[in-house]
Amino acid sequence: MIQPAKEDRLVDAFGRVHTDLRISVTDRCNLRCTYCMPLEVVFRPRDELLSYEEITGAVRVAARFGIRTLRLTGGEPLVRSDIDELVRQLAVVPGIDDIALTTNGLLLAEQAEPLRRAGLHRLNVSLDSLRDQMFEAIARRRGLDRVLNGLSAAKAAGFRRIRINAVSIRGLTEDEIVPLALFCRREGFHLRFIEFMPLDAEAGWSDRQVLSGADVRDILTRNIGPLVAASRRDAGQPAIDYDWVDGEGRVGFIDPVTNPFCDRCDRLRLTADGQFRNCLFSSVEWDARGVLRSGDEPDEIDARLAEMLRECVAAKKQAHGIGSSTFARPQRAMYEIGG
């Protein structure tokens, strides 16, 4: 594999080496999850979104500076047409060795097979409840049966180690935890619980609503059985994994609020409208779209994007600071940044 020279790696002021790029491909979505989107939403005009060629151009430059893994997200990435075509383009970029996608699963039954053939390596499917009523209360649309069909299709298409992401919200999701865990144990999915972050478009978040990973773990052990910390940590993953003592699978906890992983963060982001960000909670963005559409010569565009990436990484703060007196929510909500 091509490795960038040490001085060309994307290292920030705190020594963190950046190897992962999260790419949002759209702000549109076919659900309206309360913790993410507003019910009434005005989406960006399509011409503001990067084309697949523009995204691939930005990734080519990032890969020269050590980006190795990509995650496609949104909004809902599967509502963007021919998303498999983007995967196909990214899969042949020199240096990229892992492409993953996060989806709500509604359109997965139709798209799992083409995505797999295009070169997608891994899938995360978001699922907060196995009960129709609760699913609809959270997502403000129906679709549980479609997500479950999508998961079956993903397995049939050959995806392995499929992850299920569930957001934990105090006073709302406690009763979903055990059924989700039993379902994932039975089906062989790797379940991960994510603490609710202050990124909901309706700005209703309060720290009282954060159901911590520790509390979720407690519910799991009381109702299902003991968990032990997994011996091998996956360095690039924010989740702290636990294994069921009976050997029936693994559960992960992503605790950005109660146990932030900022000290090992290796991520950069590219929004659907072509802005580089160095953190979910960043208040600053770098306008890659402006450079990509500048009309400059290709070499000049690449050089300007490279400079922009260096600046973006150099400006990264030590930590997001949720809970500190100086914390300010970003102006964009989760669906506009890309989770």
β pairing state of 275-277 and 267-270? antiparallel
- Does 74 participate in binding ligand SF4 (rule CB under 6 A)? yes
What are the beta bridge partners of residue 167? 194
Which residue, 52 or 335, has its beta carbon nearer to ligand SF4?
335
Q: Which of 320, 335, 336, 337 binds ligand SF4 (CB under 6 A)?
A: 335
Pick what 147 binds: ligand SF4, ligand SAM, none; C-beta below 5 to 8 Å, kind-dependent: none
Half-sphere exposure of 159 (CA within 13 A, CB side): 34
- The total of other beta-carbon atoms located within 10 Å of residue 297's CB is 9
Three-state SS sequence of 186-217: HHCCEEEEEECCCCCCCCCCCHHHECCHHHHH
β pairing state of 163-168 and 122-126? parallel
In the three-class reduction of DSSP (H, G, I as helix; E, B as strand; rest coil), residue 68 is classed as: coil
Provide the token pair at 292: 């990509």
Half-sphere exposure of 90 (CA within 13 A, CB side): 35
Pick what 84 binds: ligand SF4, ligand SAM, none; C-beta below 5 to 8 Å, kind-dependent: none
Which residue, 12 or 176, has its beta carbon nearer to ligand SAM?
176
Q: Which of 10, 16, 20, 35 binds ligand SAM (CB under 6 A)?
A: 35
- Which of the ranges 72-80, 85-93, 142-150, 232-240 carries the binding residues for ligand SF4, by CB under 6 A? 72-80
- Does 36 participate in binding ligand SF4 (rule CB under 6 A)? yes
- Does 317 participate in binding ligand SF4 (rule CB under 6 A)? no
213-223 and 174-187 helices, crossing angle to 10°:
70
Provide the token pair at 250: 């693994």
Question: Mind giving me the DSSP string for 126-137?
Answer: E---SSHHHHHH
- Does 104 participate in binding ligand SF4 (rule CB under 6 A)? yes
- Does 75 participate in binding ligand SF4 (rule CB under 6 A)? yes
- Does 197 participate in binding ligand SF4 (rule CB under 6 A)? no
- Which of the ranges 27-35, 91-99, 151-159, 250-258 carries the binding residues for ligand SF4, by CB under 6 A? 27-35
Q: Which of 165, 173, 212, 271 binds ligand SAM (CB under 6 A)?
A: 165
Which residue, among 102, 119, 116, 189, has the nearest Cα to 151 in the 3D structure? 189
- Does 44 participate in binding ligand SF4 (rule CB under 6 A)? no
CB of 106 to ligand SF4, least distance (A): 8
Q: Which of residues 179-208 bind ligand SAM (CB under 6 A)?
A: 194, 196-197, 199-200
Which residue, among 244, 193, 238, has the nearest Cα to 216 in the 3D structure? 193
CB of 288 to ligand SAM, least distance (A): 20
* Cα–Cα distance, 181 to 164 (Å, whole number): 10
In the three-class reduction of DSSP (H, G, I as helix; E, B as strand; rest coil), residue 24 is classed as: strand
Q: How many residues does the chain have?
A: 339
- The total of other beta-carbon atoms located within 10 Å of residue 65's CB is 21
CB of 339 to ligand SF4, least distance (A): 6
Which residue, 89 or 126, has its beta carbon nearer to ligand SF4?
126
- Does 76 participate in binding ligand SF4 (rule CB under 6 A)? yes
- Does 105 participate in binding ligand SF4 (rule CB under 6 A)? no
- Does 167 participate in binding ligand SAM (rule CB under 6 A)? yes
- Containing 277, the helix (H) or strand (E) segment is strand 275-277
- Does 27 participate in binding ligand SAM (rule CB under 6 A)? no
Q: Give the residues lining the site for ligand SF4 (CB under 6 A).
A: 29, 31-33, 36-37, 74-76, 104, 126, 334-335
Q: Give the residues lining the site for ligand SAM (CB under 6 A).
A: 29, 35-36, 73-74, 76, 102-104, 126, 165, 167, 194, 196-197, 199-200, 334-335, 339
